[in-house]
Chains A and B, each alone.
Chain A
Amino acid sequence: MSQDQQGHDEHGHEHQQSFISHYIFSTDHKMIGKQFLLLSAIMACFGGFMAYLIRWEVAFPNTPAPFFGLVTPDKFNAIITLHGTIMIFFVGMPFLSAFPSNFLVPLMIGARDMAFPKLNMASFWITFVGAVLLVSSIFVPGGPVAGGWVGYPPLSASSEFTGVKIGAVLWILALACALVSSSLGGMNYLVTAATLRAPGMTFNRIPMTVWFLLASAITFFFSAGPLIAGAFMMLMDNAFGTGFFLPAKGGEPMLWEHLFWFFGHPEVYVLFFPALGFGLDIMATFTRKPVFGYKLILWCTGSAVALSYIVWAHHMFMSGLNPLLATPFSITTILISVPFAIIIFCMFATLRNGAIRLELPFLWIIGFLATFLIGGLTGIFLGSASADIYLHGTYFVVAHFHYTLFPSVFFGGFGAVYYWFPKMYGKKLNEKLGFLHLALTFIFFNGTFWPLFKVGMGGMIRRIADPSFYPQYHQFQGLNAFATVSAICLIATQVIFLWNLVLSLNHGPQAEKNPYQSNTLEWIADSPPPHGNWGPVLPVVTSDPYEYSKPGEAKDWQPQATNLPV
């Protein structure tokens, strides 16, 4: 049995790092994780503000929005585009993939850091540059890009159609930064998990969070390439006047649609997988039970990753694709629901016969399940090509994908934040404020998006700045106003979390090492873990991650490594 004898130098903590190398150009995986967290929080403010503007304009068209002014149609288009791009690439990706992968993967597998700490730092700064480019596009002449986050050409490929040139170039560059950074990050997580696991951390002892973060990284890894290629073409079209996607110059817009959705569909799993991983770990801890069907879940995840690459055309049923292709893609879409159904049922089975502690992170995960379920079920409407003839491009779609993305990002993501916060900062978050945050988020989230199913079923199309122009939509004014008020409350609710953060970081009670009596390795490290994570010796893993309530044991948990004091 090998342990690293050289160990971590004990004087490491006294070793004063300068502010810059500690907080800014840090190569410590935990600090980089927190940097990603902060970045996603800042970008969420932008994305949230834009969500407010969108909702305001839809419910109260042609009335100036407080704190902004009138949302004119060109501004509206730019705002939905920025909202989508920011939420997916600069909130979802950093918050659900980069932050937890950085913070948790080395801790949960018993490593001291990532395999390539410098690359890791680079990947953060590339994302940062992308975010700055995107935000700065608001201020350039011509305004930001306004072609929708899917960037369909010709609209998004030439300033001829929108009058936006610099903004479009900045948008593509920002997209490229996000894609490259996440690819580099993914490579890092994969190599780390492959090569730096603590002694005894065999494959079937890896916690679900790590597995799912890796699944997310792999899914991203093999779908981003074509879109990076597409982004190059789009860039040349916009910046140099080539015609890759412009039919007038012999190009083909459908090519972009294929490249985009070949990435776009897997991307929704990139955001969904991490939430599943957190969910399984948090459930095991609070049900005091092993995760049900560990191996089965992994097989399902693997097949979901594989299938995710062959369903993309279900986003293109109305695009003029050969209609005969609808059937094969409907079938793959049905097939991919199989592994996810099994995983969700395994979660249910984990709850069954448990001794559930109704603590805060657990309730966030239940909120995740309860809402995501609606997203999954409504997906069946859209996966049916014939129903999609009517529903494509309506608010039904908006409601559906927010019911998949929002639960993953907010319920799953906040579940993780509340759960691992003590490990991250050594402080506990205030429970009461946390419950309030959860309850209000749950209520207002449903209040925002449930009405949109009805509005969409009524035929109201998305991405229109001025519904008052459409007499047939006047009947939905009430529902729209209700959704908007809920959305504003939903956004305002997040202030509770910020307040909680400030309060708990300053006055919160000191967190124990392992406040939930959880098994996985990160709970053996100090809270917060020091540079190098483990002190002089590495943990030696001796058991599976979820040995809770094992009959005949004195306590109902069994840390994965026993050579270190818990």
Chain B
Amino acid sequence: MDKNTTLPVLGFEPGDQLPTGHYSGPVGLTPGRLGIWALIASEIVLFAGLFGSFILMRLINPGWAEEARHLNLYAGTLNSLVLLTSNFFMMKSSKSFVEDRAEDARKFMVFTMLAGFVFLGIKAYEYSGEFAHGEFPTSGGFWSFYFLMTGIHALHILGGLFAIFLLLSKTRHEPLVSLASRANITGIYWSFVEVVWIFLFPLLYLLA
């Protein structure tokens, strides 16, 4: 991309009064993409704080290993696969945006969201199983961390689903190409949520 082309400033609606600016960023990046990377950077620090705290406390409390064994490893593994599939769909969808295939874009977004909801459903099933066993966030350090970390992650999933939903509803009024960048950004965020899970899963389920 030419360094000197003027880009529409992201975050504006097309009818917005504000005009264009001069793009001075790195070649190939849009403000939106830069923004999402910045957001992810700040999220990484947040999760680093969370994971770091967990690891620290885990080292102090060797007894947690025993409690980790009470987690539903099957559900956890299944959920990892579900998220992976969901990401695959989102990638497909982003691609359809670029190639201007509206049907596919929408279809894959719906699949992505379905997989997201399946993930949340399985998570809820896991939670209910744990509650049934009398394991609550208040049942000791390990469980506090488990519920906090998976809970925060689930909030991120919800946020991602909301972003995808917004995108989906936009495709009804706007041409796909003008949304391609936004789809790309949403996809990046969705992969990030996936990556967090990839770290979360072994930390909680496998380090038993």
Contacts and interface: CB of A to CB of B under 8 A. Distances in A.
B107 interface: no
A532 B16 CA distance: 12
A389 B116 CA distance: 54
Contact of B19 (A4, A226, A241): A4
B56 interface: yes
B123 to A, nearest CB: 18
A437 to B, nearest CB: 36
Contacts of A201: 24
Contacts of B24: 194-199, 201
A225 B19 contact: no
Contacts, number: 171
Nearest to B9: A115
Contacts of B50: 226, 229, 232
B138 A531 contact: no
Interface in B1-39: 4-6, 9-12, 17-26, 29-31, 34-35, 38-39
A110 B23 CA distance: 11
Contacts of A119: 11, 35
Interface of A: 1-4, 6-9, 12, 15, 110-113, 115-119, 183, 186-188, 190-192, 194-199, 201, 221-230, 232-233, 236, 240-244, 249-252, 255, 259, 262, 531-532, 538
A4 B18 CA distance: 12
B11 A116 contact: yes
B22 A224 contact: no
Given A117-B11, A233-B53, A199 B4 contact: yes
A188 B31 CA distance: 9
Given A191-B38, A232-B152, A259-B49, 6 more contacts: A2-B5, A112-B21, A199-B4, A223-B45, A233-B144, A241-B138
Given A195-B23, A236-B148, A117 B140 contact: no
B43 interface: yes
B12 A117 contact: yes
Contacts of A226: 45-46, 48-50, 52-53
A240 B18 contact: no
B31 A252 contact: no
B57 interface: yes
Contacts of A110: 22
Contacts of B4: 1-2, 199
B21 to A, nearest CB: 5
Interface in B57-101: 57, 60-61
Contact of A229 (B11, B39, B46, B57): B46
A195 B42 contact: no
B48 A225 contact: yes
B53 A259 contact: yes
A229 B39 CA distance: 15
A252 B60 CA distance: 10
A115 B23 contact: no
A118 B5 CA distance: 24
Contacts of B61: 250
Contacts of B21: 4, 111-113, 196, 538
Nearest to A202: B24
A2 B24 CA distance: 11
Contacts of A251: 141, 144
24 contacts: A4-B19, A6-B20, A112-B19, A112-B20, A113-B18, A115-B31, A115-B35, A116-B11, A117-B11, A183-B42, A195-B24, A195-B29, A195-B34, A198-B22, A221-B42, A225-B46, A225-B47, A225-B49, A229-B46, A229-B49, A233-B144, A243-B140, A244-B141, A249-B141
B44 interface: yes
A236 B31 CA distance: 36
Given A195-B23, A249-B140, A116 B60 contact: no
B22 A187 contact: no
A187 B39 contact: yes
A115 B10 contact: yes
Nearest to B53: A255
Contact of B141 (A8, A232, A243): A243
A196 B21 CA distance: 6
Contacts of A250: 61, 140-141
Nearest to B5: A2
A244 B144 contact: yes
B114 interface: no
A236 to B, nearest CB: 6
B119 to A, nearest CB: 21
B206 interface: no
